[in-house]
Amino acid sequence: MTPNILDLRQERCPMALLLAKRHSVKLEVGQSLSIYVSDNSSMKDIVSFLSQHAYVVITEACSSYHHLLVTKKELQSNA
């Protein structure tokens, strides 16, 4: 299985957010995606968007970038 890695360290919003959305939507429930981003604003936008949808996001600050571990979770039904 190849690792799911998306390197957005050269991208800024809105492109970074758009690319993160495109790649995360392809995940199956339980699958993870590592996103590398250097722009603080992009990192906040990505975390905010994904957290409001069906994803768990764990952030790790590295020396010159942020590592976001995104995992798709099951949608909760309101039944």
The dihedrals phi and psi of 6, each to the nearest 5 degrees, come to -125, 110
What pTM does this model have?
A: 0.88
Alpha-carbon span 72 to 53, nearest angstrom: 9
- DSSP states of 14-67: THHHHHHHHHHTTPPTT-EEEEEE--HHHHHHHHHHHHTTTEEEEEEE-SSSEE
**Per-residue pLDDT tens listing for the chain (79 residues):** 456 999 999 999 899 999 999 999 999 999 999 999 999 999 999 999 999 999 999 999 999 999 999 999 987 666 5
The pLDDT, as a whole number, for residue 79 is 53
Residues in the chain: 79
CATH classification number, 5-72, choose in 3.20.20.80, 1.10.10.10, 3.40.50.720, 3.30.110.40: 3.30.110.40
